[in-house]
Chain A
Amino acid sequence: MKLAALQSDFHAWLTRGSASAADRLGAGPGLVVYQNNYRSQLVSALREALPLTLTWIGEEAFVGAAAGYIDRSPPSAWTLDAYAPGFAQALAEHFPGDPEVAELAWIETALAEAFVAADAEPLTPENLARVDWEQAQLQLPPSFRMRTVRTNAEAIWTALSSGASAPQARMLDALTGLIVWRRGFTCFLKAIDDIEAAAFDQIHANPSFSALCENLVGTLGEGRGLQASSAFLATLLQFGLLTSIEAPRADASPEGGSPTPQR
């Protein structure tokens, strides 16, 4: 048997328990050991990645959902770290009546991703002294993650992560944004208001600070829009969410030259 055919049969045995593949492999009872290892390793990885989700829904429900996910979505990446985010998404379909489950799982996987995201030092107010705000392009840290939630998953995560008893799951009055990021070696989770969510969306689409101001002025009117822009910039600085501003220096020649990262 060619090696590629053997590996194809092994894949069929591990993922589908194919008896015909096992017959062709002709390798004896030890095949079961590999199948057990394969499944238990993946369940363990998901348990380790989502300990609070496991606590929230309980062992039986978690393992049942994990088994279904492993059957439907065998891993493909070289790192097991990449396996849990897909499971977090799959939980939305597995528990359609309990949307807080997938939202709680998202929080856990987003924090895990932030934990090992690329390093970036946050800017301080002193870094902004000579910025040309007309040209400024705002850069968020590589660890930054954002999504909207329908439930009080943030409150559930906060309680469970501190060992407290979690509140009952409930739907929020309106969709709410959550952000995750890392500053130094500490990861943070924060709920944001509608204006902040719109501002983060705007930066994601176009990192220009002047475009952000225009957008907020268009939405809120000139007075409130400019005020919101300033407040948002202050929030970015306060929480270490601004890691770079690319813009020509204010004292640069009229020709400008290439943009200079401000760090």
Chain B
Amino acid sequence: MPPANPAFHGYGLGLRREHYRQVLENDAELDFVEVISENFMVDGGQPRSILRQVREQRPVALHGVSMSIGSADGLDRDYLVRLKALVDEIDPLFVSDHLSWSRFASFNAHDLLPLPYTEEALEIVCANIDQAQDVLGRRILVENPSSYVAFADGAMSEWRFLEVMCARTGCDLLLDVNNIYVSARNHRFDPAAYLEGLPFDRVRQIHLAGHSQGLELLIDTHDAAVCDAVWRLYEEVVARVGSVATMIERDDAIPPLKDLLEELAVARAIGERSAAVRLRAAQ
């Protein structure tokens, strides 16, 4: 099994094209940035050059959307080879993707599609994670999804699925707090039960994001600020997990950088407050 991921305490942003220049030219208070892996899995040109410049300044996490960890017919070898080349060049802080699937045979939906939480799906997911970690030579982080459907033949809870997946493969977790909130509302479960069942010792990174209200369901749109309910859930997460790499993820309706940094300051304040409480409790 590849070596364990390092512990990293810090606060960052999902770096998007709108902010490349500002992040490169200004001394923004960012301990790390995360980029979408696929945007840089190209042969050459300016995107790759910009990423190299960003990496010279601060740690970079690679976050993928197309590994399709839940594909019943295995992973795309060409995809893995390209990701490996990027990993070798950038030496990222973390490499992550989602507990979902997007590819089936020759079809690629380019969306994070839901999995049934069955033993068969667990075996497939674990085999795919093993393959990815073998090719990449490092442990990956797997993000809990937001979902809009639950399958009738699901045999276990999502948090149990994550726990067993981590135990079998050695992978770690990227915990998206907004996704817990969205799925809890959509599927009417108690987020506290989710937190109770999670293997917090495997959480290496946290995502915070906004969502929007659909006709019947909450939609994980990443186009709004983090809402109060998600901030409260984040406080509970931080109380359990301690200080791990935490970031704001925004993919649509991208605001000015200073707005995202102000939002990140809220996360930083919550994290520091929680650390102080833990310190007092330990004394």
Q: Which residue of chain A has the shortest Cβ distance to B116 in the bound complex?
A: A6
Instruction: Indicate with 1 or 0, residue by residue over B148-160, a CB within 8 angstroms of chain A CB atoms.
Output: 1111110000000
Contact call A78/B38, Cβ cutoff below 8 A: yes
Contact call A74/B107, Cβ cutoff below 8 A: yes
Q: Which residue of chain A has the shortest Cβ distance to B150 in the bound complex?
A: A27
Residues of B contacting A33 in the complex (Cβ-Cβ under 8 angstroms): 148, 214, 217, 219
Known: A6-B116, A41-B111. 18 other contacts (CB 8 A): A1-B153, A4-B73, A11-B104, A14-B109, A25-B151, A27-B152, A29-B216, A30-B186, A33-B219, A34-B114, A34-B149, A75-B110, A117-B44, A118-B44, A119-B43, A119-B45, A182-B45, A185-B49
Shortest beta-carbon distance from B36 to chain A in Å: 11
Contact call A142/B43, Cβ cutoff below 8 A: yes
A26 within 8 Å of B by Cβ? yes
Instruction: Indicate with 1 or 0, residue by residue over A70-91, a CB within 8 angstroms of chain B CB atoms.
Output: 0000111111110000000000
Contact call A79/B186, Cβ cutoff below 8 A: no
A10 within 8 Å of B by Cβ? yes
B66 within 8 Å of A by Cβ? yes
Q: Which residue of chain A has the shortest Cβ distance to B49 in the bound complex?
A: A185
Residues of A contacting B114 in the complex (Cβ-Cβ under 8 angstroms): 27, 34
Identify the A interface with B (CB < 8 A). Answer: 1-4, 6-8, 10-11, 14-15, 25-31, 33-34, 37-38, 41-42, 45, 74-81, 115-119, 142, 182, 185
Q: Which residue of chain A has the shortest Cβ distance to B186 in the bound complex?
A: A30
B108 within 8 Å of A by Cβ? yes
B144 within 8 Å of A by Cβ? no
Contact call B186/A7, Cβ cutoff below 8 A: no
B72 within 8 Å of A by Cβ? yes
A-B contact count (CB 8 A): 114
Interface size class of B (residues with CB under 8 A): 35 or more
Residues of B contacting A28 in the complex (Cβ-Cβ under 8 angstroms): 149-150
Q: Which residue of chain A has the shortest Cβ distance to B187 in the bound complex?
A: A30
B118 within 8 Å of A by Cβ? yes
Shortest beta-carbon distance from B125 to chain A in Å: 9
Identify the B interface with A (CB < 8 A). Answer: 38, 41-49, 66, 70-73, 76, 78-79, 101, 103-111, 113-116, 118, 120-121, 124, 147-153, 186, 214, 216-217, 219
Shortest beta-carbon distance from A256 to chain B in Å: 32
**Residues of B contacting A: mostly:** loop
Residues of B contacting A34 in the complex (Cβ-Cβ under 8 angstroms): 111, 113-114, 148-149
Contact call A41/B72, Cβ cutoff below 8 A: no
Contact call A30/B42, Cβ cutoff below 8 A: no
Contact call B45/A1, Cβ cutoff below 8 A: no
Q: How far is the CA of A11 from the CA of B110 in the complex (A)?
A: 12
Identify A79's interface contact among B66, B113, B121, B124, CB under 8 A: B66
Q: How far is the CA of A31 from the CA of B109 in the complex (A)?
A: 14
Residues of B contacting A75 in the complex (Cβ-Cβ under 8 angstroms): 107-110
Show 26 residue pairs from A and B whose CB-CB distance is below 8 angstroms, ordered by the A residue: A1-B116, A2-B72, A2-B120, A3-B124, A4-B73, A7-B71, A7-B72, A7-B104, A7-B113, A10-B109, A11-B105, A11-B109, A26-B151, A27-B150, A27-B152, A31-B148, A33-B148, A33-B214, A33-B217, A34-B111, A37-B111, A75-B109, A80-B110, A81-B42, A115-B46, A116-B48
Shortest beta-carbon distance from B119 to chain A in Å: 11
Identify B120's interface contact among A3, A37, A81, CB under 8 A: A3
Quick one: given A1-B116, A6-B116, are A185 and B217 in contact (CB under 8 Å)? no
Closest 7 CB pairs of A and B: A30-B148, A27-B149, A116-B42, A119-B44, A118-B43, A30-B149, A4-B72
Q: Which residue of chain A has the shortest Cβ distance to B75 in the bound complex?
A: A78
Contact call A78/B72, Cβ cutoff below 8 A: no
Quick one: given A29-B216, A34-B148, A78-B79, are A10 and B113 in contact (CB under 8 Å)? yes
Residues of B contacting A6 in the complex (Cβ-Cβ under 8 angstroms): 116, 151
Identify B47's interface contact among A7, A27, A116, CB under 8 A: A116
Contact call A3/B116, Cβ cutoff below 8 A: yes
Contact call B151/A116, Cβ cutoff below 8 A: no
Q: Which residue of chain B has the shortest Cβ distance to A14 in the bound complex?
A: B109
Q: How far is the CA of A77 from the CA of B78 in the complex (A)?
A: 10
